[in-house]
Amino acid sequence: GDSVTQMEGPVTLSEEAFLTINCTYTATGYPSLFWYVQYPGEGLQLLLKATKADDKGSNKGFEATYRKETTSFHLEKGSVQVSDSAVYFCALRNTGFQKLVFGTGTRLLVSP
């Protein structure tokens, strides 16, 4: 079945450091890919998405490119802030109105 694999955390960075959180997937067909963020004590917020190969999703300085050849959707940000501290979930949706399949989440801790 479909699955998503994320790098284990926590990822600990200093403010203004470069961030990469790896995400790879296994799926039949041509899934859409998502990153969701969960701030402490809150629900899941959509951060960005990409619906086809080579698409780049971006939002709030975060970017991820849909790489079909490597089945990856790594999350990057050039300069993290303390306020970016959260848990980041990579997810896929295979087609249409199907369910989201989530990775295990990666906790990011940014210190001043």
Residues in touch with another protein (CB under 8 A): 32, 34, 36, 42-46, 49, 89, 91, 93, 97-105
Nearest CB to another protein, comparing residues 81 and 98 = 98
List, in sequence order, every residue forming a beta bridge with 26; answer none if it has no partner.
Answer: 3
Supply the minimum distance, in Å, between the C-beta of residue 98 and another protein: 8
Nearest CB to another protein, comparing residues 29 and 112 = 29
Supply the minimum distance, in Å, between the C-beta of residue 97 and another protein: 6
User: CB under 8 Å to 1, separation ≥6 — which residues?
Assistant: none
Burial of 63 (0-12, 13-18, 19+ CB in 10 A): middle
Supply the minimum distance, in Å, between the C-beta of residue 16 and another protein: 28
Nearest CB to another protein, comparing residues 45 and 111 = 45
Residue with tokens 């300069």: 79
Supply the minimum distance, in Å, between the C-beta of residue 49 and another protein: 6
Report the candidate in 111, 46, 99, 96 with the shortest Cα–Cα distance to residue 75: 46
Nearest CB to another protein, comparing residues 41 and 112 = 41
Q: Are strands 11-14 and 106-111 parallel, antiparallel or unpaired?
A: parallel
